[in-house]
A = this chain, B = another copy of it.
Amino acid sequence: MRNFTYQNGTKLIFGKDTEKLVGHEIAQYTTKVLLHYGGGSIKKTKLYETVLTSLNNANIEVIELPGVQPNPRLSLVHEGIKMCREQNITFILAVGGGSVIDSAKAIAAGVPYEGDVWDLFCGTPITKDCLPVGTILTIPAAGSETSSGSVITNEENGLKRSCGHSSMRPVFSILNPELTYTLPMYQTACGIADMLAHVLERYFTNEPSVDVTDRLCEATMKAIIKNGRRVMNDPMNYDLRAELMLAGMIAHNGSLDVGRLGDWASHELEHELSGQYDIAHGAGLAIIFPAWMKFVYKHDVQRFAQFGHRVFDLEINLNNLEETALRAIECLEHFFKELNLPTRFTEAHLPTDEIELLAQKLVSHCESVGNFVKIYKEDALAIYQLAL
């Protein structure tokens, strides 16, 4: 087990009707807030009115910045930073899914930074604390509600890049599973794939002696798979929605990978897909992860067999661990199919003749990606090939 430091002070407020507490929470920080959200969905569901009422009751002035799109864009982040600076706004409330929260975090990081905020997504370290961000989560998926990171797409060059800082963790996050009842099934499925991928990235490590965190990862994956399957046929079930919302948070709050180094190649490989083709991140991960597994499983057959045994209840073939490992990968791919997600480029109607470009972009900012197995350009090409 590696040495580690872990601190996550995000206040979680979980359960029915909790969005009504938002004004009370923010009043502890400020009297003026940037309300950041996406399209009209929060207006359709009346969440917008509930939030405004709560903020008004707490005497908080509201400046709105709607318009966040999936794979959130740098241009809107720039606009938010300008608004905060010009109007002396010192708190950002994100109401939405991971895209809205990531956009809010990028604004929060950009306001105190003198240069272009995109620098922070290209390797410039964050040295000044971000503005505080609060969230009301509507899509369990990205885990951004308690994570210290943000992913932004620069629409000028199609690059999707991440950055992180301890001060980027939201000061509070409100999670009401009822708010996810109206999520379309495709988005629900993409969210399930995303949260499962967050655990998988942490699970595949070369660190020996990680028994506690292995088991916590397996527990979280089993719960995601079980409740994920059920919610597809029972989307208005509070308990199922609650389990998934809790699991999605745990999957990415950093607690599952203390003392170990995760992989993250699949996320990098996927970011080229969603950066280039604007496919939902979770769908991209359902395409990339099985292909990545097929490419790397021989690196640690035992770990893949353990994954199959403990997560999918496969009996271990002691005479042929490789067979168990391959069945585990099949199980994962099959689970994504059960969610009606694509697991191939063709199923998602993505071009199959541009993988050279994707691989080229991937290594444009680093020689290789991934820690479990280092993926160089030719490896990336092979993985994209396996996913066509």
A222–B215 touching, CB < 8 Å: yes
B12–A10 touching, CB < 8 Å: no
B6–A12 touching, CB < 8 Å: yes
Which residues from B are CB-within-8-Å of A13?
A: 5
A258: which of B1, B7, B246 is its contact (CB, 8 Å)? B246
A239–B15 touching, CB < 8 Å: no
Known: A220-B215, A239-B208. Contact between A18 and B3, CB under 8 A? yes
A243: which of B209, B226, B227 is its contact (CB, 8 Å)? B209
A297: Cβ under 8 A from any B Cβ: no
B209–A220 touching, CB < 8 Å: no
A1–B255 touching, CB < 8 Å: no
B258–A14 touching, CB < 8 Å: yes
A212–B5 touching, CB < 8 Å: no
Which residues from B are CB-within-8-Å of A250?
A: 212, 216
CB A16 to nearest CB in B, in angstroms, measures 6
B15–A242 touching, CB < 8 Å: no
User: How far is it, in angstroms, between the C-alpha of A227 and the C-alpha of B209 when the chains are bound?
Assistant: 11
A211: Cβ under 8 A from any B Cβ: yes
Which residues from B are CB-within-8-Å of A2?
A: 15
User: How far is it, in angstroms, between the C-alpha of A270 and the C-alpha of B258 when the chains are bound?
Assistant: 33
CB A369 to nearest CB in B, in angstroms, measures 26
B12–A4 touching, CB < 8 Å: yes
A209: which of B16, B215, B218, B239 is its contact (CB, 8 Å)? B239
Chain B residue with minimal CB distance to A209? B239
CB A175 to nearest CB in B, in angstroms, measures 10
Which residues from B are CB-within-8-Å of A15?
A: 1-4, 259
Convert A241-257 into 0s and 1s, putting 1 for each residue whose CB lies closer than 8 angstroms to a CB of B.
01100110010000100
CB A317 to nearest CB in B, in angstroms, measures 19
A7–B7 touching, CB < 8 Å: no
A8: Cβ under 8 A from any B Cβ: yes
A219–B208 touching, CB < 8 Å: no
A242: which of B227, B255, B259 is its contact (CB, 8 Å)? B259
4 closest A-B pairs by CB = A3-B15, A9-B9, A209-B239, A215-B219
